[in-house]
Structure 1
Amino acid sequence: MKNKAAPHITVAIDCIVFGFDGSDLKLLLVKRGFNPEMNKWSLMGGFVNEDESVDDASTRILNKLTGLHGVYLEQLHTFGAVKRDTTERTISIAYFALIDIAKYKQQLSHDYHAEWFPIKNVPSLIFDHDAMVEEAKKRLQYKAALHPIVFELLPEKFTLPQIQSMYDAIYEVNFDKRNFSRKLLSTGLLIKLNEKDKAGSKKGAFYYMLDKEKYNENLYKIFSLIITPDHLQFL
């Protein structure tokens, strides 16, 4: 009995890039440059070469389309519906990235016309990219509740109101200010600086920095900042 030839299946990478500008959570998109779906909004995507791993491909593709490098990038999910791509059978491995928009502003390339969109005003995307974004939002909420990795979205120094704005945006709720601050400071991950941001008021808000040593120690451990799935409140 002859062995059947292996089917031809293309492997693609799609990157969901979340950014925070100090007040709003945003998503980075590009306009697709070829048919089908030409000139429609899309995630950053490309194909895996024969001589590279999927992780290497995700880094290469993100850098090629946006100019970004050295950002936090994590594999999210594999999307393999038979007809997800109308051209040929394509399996896509989705990754998500977390960046501070201000930090990477100069690094961002405009060769492919990448643009930031507020997470609440994202246009309709090609193929199953909308489903990818929804899956990434769920992962981001999980990460924000249990791990300190979401601090990748913040600048080197930040205020408690900025952190709360970030969490409010991630969960699309308004957390109680006092409980939020108390729970956040109880993690021991923040270092208070003798410096204030007075842009919002005369009294101002103290700046904080992340304790990098404690951050690295707890990066993949369960974080004490836990949000219950039922009512999304700090315990």
Structure 2
Amino acid sequence: MTDEAWKIPDIAVAVDLAVLTVRSGALQVMLIERGIEPHLGMLALPGGFLSDVDESLDAAAERELTEETGLDTTGLHLEQLHTYGAPNRDPRRRVVTVCYLAFVPGLASPTAGGDARAAAWVPTAIALDPRTELAFDHRQIIEDAVERARSKIEYTTLAAAFCAPEFTVTDLRQVYEIVWGEALDPRNFHRKVTGVEGFLVATGGQTTRQGGRPAALYRRGPAHLLHPAMLRPPAPKPDSSRTS
């Protein structure tokens, strides 16, 4: 075999972070404004290259998030979403990025640093609007992150992680409605979530902040998986009776 056949391609490894939260009645994603080329001034996910050969992917993800947004990663659960490695995704060279995903409640507003000129929470509806210009392949990454969130609240207790430490069933239902983009029947939802063992734990307290009768307060229970699953409402079928 020739030396050319053994040539190692010039490939760089990077990490990106899709951090999702529920704020101001919307599912939002953390975005930065790029302060360097390529895509100077465009919105992008926080991220960057590994700093050296000894840095792990997990450490790089935590470092980049802290450097570019100023957010404290202590206790923040990051999970790998997907690896993106299309040949032309970065104009500088072949770059393979490992995207990390985090679902977080109540994080503070970010403070830009590192290679970022600005950092902010952006509603995913705006981030994914065709008129919004995003760097690299970050539109696809955000689409994948949103779909992962929608899927995970079907079969895990993740939705409760978007709530305050104590919350009502209405608070929880609003999280499902925001993430799924679907209105849910309040009574049916209440019956389902309170019937799942270990999902919710009653605190014994009540609140009147939502108006009307006092509502019971709950906290997240020990369960991680939902049995049975909370399935998304099916997409409406096209009206076949209409003609063009």
TM-score for both structures, normalised by structure 2: 0.83
Matched residue, 2:240:
none
Tell me, yes or no, if structure 1 residue 78 matches structure 2 residue 87.
no
Which residue in the other structure is 1:116 paired with?
A: 121
Partner residue in 2 for 1:224: 228
> Are the equivalent residues in 1 in contact too, given 2:46–2:64 (CA < 8 A)?
yes
Which amino acid letter does the alignment assign opposite residue 210 of structure 1? R
**What SS is found at the alignment partner of 2:29?**
strand
Q: Deviations over 1:72-96 (max 9, x none)?
A: 2110111111101111111111111
Identity %: 28
Deviations 1:136-180 (A, max 9, x none): 111111111011133322221111111111111111111111111
Which structure has the greater CA radius of gyration? 2
Q: Which structure 1 residue ranges, 5 or more long, are not aligned?
A: none
Coordinate RMSD, CA, aligned: 2.1
**CA separation in 2, counterparts of 1:29 and 1:208?**
32
The aligned amino acid for 2:155 is: L
2: CA distance, partners of 1:23 / 1:229: 20
TM, length-normalised to structure 1: 0.86
Amino acid at match of 2:210: G
Matched-pair contact (CA < 8 Å) for 2:159–2:176: no
Distance 2:68 2:159 in 1: 23
Q: Which amino acid aligns with 2:173?
A: Q
Matched, 1:203 2:213: yes
Residue aligned with 2:80, SS: strand
CA distance in 2, matches of 1:22, 1:194: 27
Q: CA deviation at 1:59?
A: 1.9
2:33 aligned with 1:31 = yes
The answer to whether 1:17 aligns with 2:19 is: yes
**Structure 2: gaps of 5 or more residues:** 237-244
How many residue pairs get aligned? The number is: 223
Where 2:167 maps in the other structure, the secondary structure is strand
Separation in 1, partners of 2:125, 2:89:
24
Shift of 1:231: 4.3
